[in-house]
Amino acid sequence: MARRIAAGAAYGGGSIGLLGAAAVGVVLAEVQLAKRSVGGGTAPVPPRGDGLYGLAFGRIDPLHLCVLGDSTAAGQGVRRAGQTPGALLASGLAAVAERPVEVRNVALPGAQSDDLERQVTLLLADRGRTPDVCVIMIGANDVTHRMPPTQSVRHLASAVRRLRTAGAEVVVGTCPDLGTIEPVYQPLRWLARRVSRQLAAAQTIVVVEQGGRTVSLGDLLGPEFAANPREMFGADNYHPSAEGYATAAMAVLPTLCAVLGLWPESDRLEPERDEDMLPVARAAATAAAEAGTEVTGARAPWALLKHRRRRRLPPAAGPVPTEEPASPKVRKA
């Protein structure tokens, strides 16, 4: 199914039903009800985490990290800039690279994949600040707002292609598992999980084809959320809490460092960690079912499936602003 969605996107196909319109409609209605009924369906407006991190390493020659996507990428659900994904990743990246890291976050709460064109254009408009690496987190709103999956992955593929053409490395956190939302009950929880995973797998296929890498966010991320949903979700039971974002960032950081060459990269796989080289569609489906899994392209049509060791994140200090950020357009999450 993921391969069909990706092929439909590549060749201009229309909507490919995931589970049938009736079933998906019921799932989406339940998810929307959960968002409205739990915690009032609201979360704090995400703080601005733009600025310079890793000041212990000076201010000269910073790495440029850009974050794109939806409310999860923006950090909705936390109140301090240092708790947002961009800040957490920048602090970890600075510690590994021993260089300052400048963060620019253009993610928009409520965004769907069709907003990526605007976000990429905004980033690339400043030719003096071409990003070294971009992190994209997108997909949940595509599912809840019924965007055809072929259209969703087509927008993502275009964004990754533009960023790669500009010289930036790209890491995509794929669609999270909406089946983890507590107020969604069986069998709707199972249906929501299947829809989310199919989109995540299709995202992986198109991202790898465009030269990017993906990390499966899955259930944001793995056993920690299943065991401690009250701690890992925020006040609205929909967006992650500070602990949840830290868990997600720990899973993405090793891939971020690897793509920038900050520690030796090897094609040697660790079978004891269930790492393998698989056809890209099979690798995508496997990654979608197991949170924290990285997929990166190898010899076409093969891809490497990796489970990198998580790195503990250093405490994220508040950012030092590099410029006055423009007021963001706010859309309902």
Catalytic residues: 71, 236, 239
Beta-sheet pairing, 302-306 with 133-137: unpaired
What tokens does 177 get? 């598992």
